[in-house]
Amino acid sequence: MNDDNAADKKDAKHKAAMQKQKASVDAHIAAADTERGVALLITGNGKGKTSSAFGMVMRALGYGMKVGVVQFIKGEQLSGEEIYLRDHCPQVEFHQMGTGFTWDTQDRSGDIAAAKSTWVLARAMLQDASFDLVVLDELTYMIAFDYLPEDDIIEAIRCRPRDQSVVVTGRGGGTALQEVMDTISEVKEVRHAYNNGIKARRGVDY
């Protein structure tokens, strides 16, 4: 077979495969006819949970939507997304739990009090239909550490306004939380630079 023939055959095969894929995608798009907000859980041990949530913040802002962000664990380090939102997006309602990482503070009752007052702010967003997107960053740890009642969180997510989307991030997130989520993605660690002695990088890790 000459080269031209082989290339034609490859083209035809590619076209047939693409047609098949398009038919399948089109069928799925046609079948998905419910229009409402989505609840997402981004979990797993790999890097990319919080940055995925902020990717959705950017998408929503692109459409002029109203966005709320609540971070349940605040690092020592300022993050680039925090600096950017505070400087350039005053329309984004942004709250952080005023404590460091829990393994740094080692003050359980202080952490619980901070978690509870932060949750009041988050719950208010989940009851406010003017918010199109609410990000609850690192919320899963509040459930895992038993700082906040899981039932209250699930109830608030379930009863939120119909058109509001909510993104929860953090490792874990038990089966009860998973039940209320429409989309669950697990970010799997294949490798992390940190394990080869590479320092957390500004603009990449924070």
Note the residues at the interface with Mg ion (CB under 5 A): 49-50
User: What is the smallest separation between the CB atom of 170 and Mg ion, expressed in angstroms?
Assistant: 7
138 touches 171 (CB < 8 A)? no
Interface size with ligand ATP, residues (CB under 6 A): 15
Q: How many other C-beta atoms are found inside a 10 Å radius of the C-beta of residue 121?
A: 14
Cα gap 198→132, rounded to integer Å: 38
- Closest approach of ligand ATP to the CB of residue 58, in Å: 14
Q: Which residues contact 148 (CB under 8 A, 6 or more apart)?
A: 115, 116, 119, 142
145 lines the binding site for ligand ATP (CB under 6 A): no
User: Does the protein bind ligand ATP through residue 104 (CB under 6 A)?
Assistant: no
From 18, 189, 198, 202, residue interacting with ligand ATP (rule: CB under 6 A): 189
Judged by CB under 6 A, the residue of 20, 108, 158, 192 near ligand ATP is 192
In whole angstroms, how close is the CB of 39 to ligand ATP at the nearest point? Answer: 18
Kindly tell me which of 91 and 178 has the beta carbon lying closer to Mg ion: 178
Stretch that binds ligand ATP, among 13-21, 57-65, 115-123, 186-194 (CB under 6 A): 186-194
Which range touches ligand ATP (CB under 6 A), out of 92-100, 109-117, 127-135, 187-195?
A: 187-195
State in angstroms the smallest separation of the CB of 184 from ligand ATP.
Answer: 15
CA 38 → CA 4, 141, 167, 185, 188, distances in Å?
49, 21, 8, 13, 22
Contact in structure between 33 and 130 (CB atoms under 8 Å)? no
The CA distance from 41 to 49, in Å, is: 9
Structure tokens at 99: 């404590």
Residues 38 to 67: which contact ligand ATP by CB under 6 A? 45-51
Residue 189 interacts with, from Mg ion, ligand ATP, none (CB under 5-8 Å by kind): ligand ATP
Question: Which tokens belong to 154?
Answer: 């699930």
23 touching ligand ATP, by CB under 6 A: no
Which residue, 72 or 131, has its beta carbon nearer to Mg ion? 72
- Residue 68: name the closest of 37, 96, 44 by CA: 96
The candidate with the shortest Cα–Cα distance to 61, out of 130, 133, 165, is 133
Q: Which amino acid is at 80?
A: G
Which of 84, 94, 101, 206 is in the footprint of ligand ATP by CB under 6 A? 206
